[in-house]
Amino acid sequence: MFRRLFNFITLIITFCEICSAQTTGNLRGFVTDSTTAEALPYSNVYIEELKKGASTDANGYFIINGLPANCELSLICSYVGYATKIIPFKILHGKVLQINIALIPINLELQTIEKIGERIVGKNSTDIGMQKLTLRNLEFLPKGVEVDIFRTLQYLPGVLSTSDISSRYYVRGGSSDQNLVLLNGVTVYNPFHALGLFSVIDPEMINSVEFFKGGFSAENFGRLSSILKVVSKDGNKNSYGLKASSSYMTGKLLLEGPTPNGSFMLTGRKSYSTQILKKFLKNDNIPIDFYDLSFKINYSNLEILNNGKFVLFGFLSKDNIEFEDDLKEDFSWDNNLIGFNWLQIYDAPVFTEMSISMSNYSGEIIPNLTTVKPRKNDLNDFSLKMDISYVQDNRDQLDLGFHFKAISTKVLTINPIGAKTDYDKFGGNFSIFAKYKFLRFDNFGADMGARLNLSGISQNGGFFFEPRVSLSYVPIPILTLKAAWGIYQQELVTISDEDEVITLFEPWMIVPDYLTPPRSIHYVGGFDFFFSENLSLKFETYLKKVFNLAIINKNKVEDSDPDMLSGNGQSSGVEVSVIYSSQPVSLSLSYALTYAYKMLGNTTYYPKYDTRHSGNLSAEWSLPFDFTFNAIWIFASGLPFTQIVGYYDKYYINNLFEPYLNSGFWKPFLLLGDKNLGRLPYYHRLDFSVTKKFHYGFLKASIDFSILNVYDRKNIFYFKRDSGERVNMLPFLPTATLKVEL
């Protein structure tokens, strides 16, 4: 009797589960630009009747599961700069309804990225430390020479630079080689043009950017501090187009258009003048010559693969500095990337992405007849990965994947003492990851995962476990609490000399066999508070502990001496951002308090990028007649430097075998204090820009005029130790850019 009762209850439960499953359905689709069919990342889709929504990913894709079946509902889709669209729909029992939405652009000037739906959807999103950007966020910022993504990142709290000269950035107390730059999923190892003045990634190609400042989840690996993911445009699927622009330094072209079942994009940029660089390089005439080229071809045929897309991508960049005078050294470096992606969405709903790529970097310093030591670096990277995502009806998501990376590095350097480094190493990393995103409740979210390195690129990097977790909790509708924790490993490092004022050459190398790879632990916490739909506050605090830091051995004398020594580091800080956005005005205030130090042996010191206080105040004003004004005031406390505590006259002998006692000479010898205990004065400057857009039928054009350092602040860069001369950073600098689009 009891057995029959148990069987009956089991049957009833099973029947109820089946009925429950059949009373809901799923909604998915893509959001695109109606004029170009280009994906609109991070746009909002929202169901007003259910107070439920989602945000599109970098491919413009969204999915909303567990919707009631046979109900008349309305889908609201919005994106800044586009007309909002309302679409009525009805879900059938147990079915997946796909709605592809094409939004119409309107003549609306831009707002900051925080206004794009972050308040409406994704309250339980586990995205602490992440910043989303599009080209629309870059266009109207004041420009050094032209729009540059790396210089834009430096406006974010927690992201620092050591000078106006370089776009090299440092994130939350980490060195620059701890930042991973991915272009369409492919690593760019030397992402700088013109001695580091700006990025090799042309902003014209950019469709979306995801920037992780720490606490990133299990699918990301290979770096200790930050991940920058750049996705380029697919190209116009509706018509052919040509864009051309010119600044004081470069000329650029972008060609795009439809292909059978797809589209293409081709971009190119070439330097033609170095006059503007004299402002950056203190009137030095350096013959900088560079170019970058990229292409992207995508193919999607519904008859072959429904909701599938194939993408072939390539990128080339080259920099040369060749002096006519052989008494000056020459420089040369290049990047070569190619990748193939297959993205597929299944009805389950399951999303898969498979990619194969190759990345090559080579750089060289050619001494000619100078006393500069020769240096050369070659790196080859072959990568293969497969990622699978399964989204359940309750919005929970399971992600699985494997990554394989084979890398070879060659380094040839000679240090100032004459000790030689000739390093040639090959290694392969095979890793798997899994994570579960718990998103079924509107007021709680969790991203729990781990990565297991089954083999390592370096000898000591294999079979290392990297667990990670991110949490979010919404106690009240206007407050979201967030936290993250994770362990990370990095097996590629650069030989970096922190005593260099301007970093010219940082060769990559696989961590030597005598060292354990650098590893870090991230502790991150914070909250988002929404005073209103237009005013919000974001607060984050972090602690980052780094172990086994690979630090250059400044005391290497013999060729057999190690190039790198093992040290430790730690950084901590607080970041605050206040954003107000209500057309036609957007205001933001950000501030960061940062502490960073390194430990090598018994010595503890501040790294050169340890800035205690930093922040900025920005304002954007959109006016009639397509005018946009933007101003940013930047401030930071002084960078650390090593002080001169005295000097004495030292006698140098020309020839030990010279019989005369007066065969030498006297020269002042500097006595330096403890490393980086001094602090430069406070830094601040005001930048301003105005942009005007023109529309003449099929022709579109824009003119941008920018001024850096409006009040000509004399910010110190460094003192020359041999002469005591003070060298300042950028003075008052006006620039202009013209862009034409057909």
User: In this structure, are strands 665-672 and 644-652 parallel, antiparallel, or unpaired?
Assistant: antiparallel
User: Do 96 and 26 form a contact (C-beta atoms < 8 A)?
Assistant: yes
- Residue 68 CA to residue 14 CA, distance in Å, equals 20
Any alpha helices (H) in 131-208, and if so which ranges?
135-138, 149-153
- Residue 171 CA to residue 160 CA, distance in Å, equals 6
Q: How many CB atoms lie within 10 A of CB 686?
A: 18
User: Do 102 and 38 form a contact (C-beta atoms < 8 A)?
Assistant: no
Phi, psi angle pair for 138, to nearest 5°: -95, -30
User: In this structure, are strands 683-696 and 627-636 parallel, antiparallel, or unpaired?
Assistant: antiparallel
- Residue 596 CA to residue 611 CA, distance in Å, equals 8
Q: Which residues contact 22 (CB under 8 A, 6 or more apart)?
A: 69, 93, 94
Structural domain 130-642+677-741, CATH architecture: Beta Barrel (2.40)
- Residue 547 CA to residue 570 CA, distance in Å, equals 9
Element (H, E) at 15: helix 2-22
Q: How many CB atoms lie within 10 A of CB 12?
A: 10
Q: How many CB atoms lie within 10 A of CB 69?
A: 14
- What local confidence, expressed as pLDDT, does residue 710 receive? 92
- Residue 710 CA to residue 142 CA, distance in Å, equals 11
pLDDT band at 659 (very low <50, low <70, confident <90, very high): low
Higher pLDDT among residues 174 and 197, named by residue: 174
Is 261 strand, coil or helix? Answer: coil
- Per-chain mean pLDDT for the chain: 85
User: In this structure, are strands 96-98 and 24-33 parallel, antiparallel, or unpaired?
Assistant: parallel
Residue 15: pLDDT over 80 = no
User: Do 275 and 288 form a contact (C-beta atoms < 8 A)?
Assistant: no
User: In this structure, are strands 262-271 and 250-259 parallel, antiparallel, or unpaired?
Assistant: antiparallel
Higher pLDDT among residues 3 and 205, named by residue: 205
- What local confidence, expressed as pLDDT, does residue 7 receive? 53
Which one, of 424, 379, 432, 434, lies nearest residue 404 by Cα? Answer: 432
- What local confidence, expressed as pLDDT, does residue 112 receive? 34
Higher pLDDT among residues 196 and 471, named by residue: 471
Element (H, E) at 279: helix 277-280
Q: How many CB atoms lie within 10 A of CB 326?
A: 11
What number of CA atoms fall less than 13 Å from residue 196's CA on the CB side? 18
- What local confidence, expressed as pLDDT, does residue 580 receive? 92
Q: Where are the domains of the chain?
A: 2-108, 130-642+677-741
- Residue 435 CA to residue 397 CA, distance in Å, equals 8
Residues facing 390 on adjacent strands: 350, 398
Higher pLDDT among residues 15 and 701, named by residue: 701
Q: How many CB atoms lie within 10 A of CB 488?
A: 25
Phi, psi angle pair for 375, to nearest 5°: -145, 140
- In CATH terms, are 2-108 and 130-642+677-741 the same topology? no
User: Do 207 and 234 form a contact (C-beta atoms < 8 A)?
Assistant: yes
pLDDT band at 329 (very low <50, low <70, confident <90, very high): confident
- Residue 460 CA to residue 515 CA, distance in Å, equals 8
Q: Which residues contact 380 (CB under 8 A, 6 or more apart)?
A: 358, 359, 360, 407, 408
Residue 616: pLDDT over 80 = yes
Torsion of CA 9, 10, 14, 17, to 10 degrees: 60
Residue 374: pLDDT over 70 = yes
Mean pLDDT of the region 661-687: 80
Which one, of 455, 463, 585, 476, lies nearest residue 527 by Cα? Answer: 476
User: Do 337 and 312 form a contact (C-beta atoms < 8 A)?
Assistant: no
pLDDT band at 13 (very low <50, low <70, confident <90, very high): very low
Residues facing 75 on adjacent strands: 47, 87
- What local confidence, expressed as pLDDT, does residue 546 receive? 96
pLDDT band at 658 (very low <50, low <70, confident <90, very high): low
- Residue 129 CA to residue 214 CA, distance in Å, equals 6
Which one, of 711, 703, 531, 533, lies nearest residue 140 by Cα? Answer: 703
pLDDT band at 663 (very low <50, low <70, confident <90, very high): low
- Residue 741 CA to residue 254 CA, distance in Å, equals 9
Cα–Cα distance list, 634 to 319, 454, 475, 588, 595 (Å) = 30, 45, 35, 12, 19
Cα–Cα distance list, 166 to 150, 151, 334, 729 (Å) = 10, 9, 18, 11
- What local confidence, expressed as pLDDT, does residue 446 receive? 93
Residue 210: pLDDT over 70 = yes
User: What is the identity of the amino acid at 646?
Assistant: G
Lowest mean per-residue pLDDT among 46-50, 214-218, 456-460, 478-482: 46-50
Residues facing 545 on adjacent strands: 521, 570
- Residue 317 CA to residue 340 CA, distance in Å, equals 19
Question: Phi-psi region for residue 711, left (φ > 0), alpha (ψ -120 to 50) or beta?
Answer: alpha
Identify the CATH assignment for 2-108 out of 3.40.50.80, 3.40.50.2030, 2.60.40.1120, 1.10.3720.10.
Answer: 2.60.40.1120
Mean pLDDT of the region 289-294: 93
Mean pLDDT of the region 51-72: 85
- What local confidence, expressed as pLDDT, does residue 521 receive? 97
- Residue 432 CA to residue 411 CA, distance in Å, equals 30
Lowest mean per-residue pLDDT among 42-46, 314-318, 643-647: 643-647
Q: Dig out the tokens for 726 from the structure.
A: 């003070």
pLDDT band at 550 (very low <50, low <70, confident <90, very high): very high
Length of the chain: 742
Q: Per residue in 124-134, pLDDT tens?
A: 677 888 888 76
Task: Indicate if the alpha-carbon torsion angle 456, 457, 461, 464 is positive or negative.
Answer: negative
Q: Which residues contact 18 (CB under 8 A, 6 or more apart)?
A: none
Q: Per residue in 484-533, pLDDT tens?
A: 999 999 999 998 888 777 777 889 999 999 999 999 999 999 999 999 88
* Cis before 584? omega within 30: yes
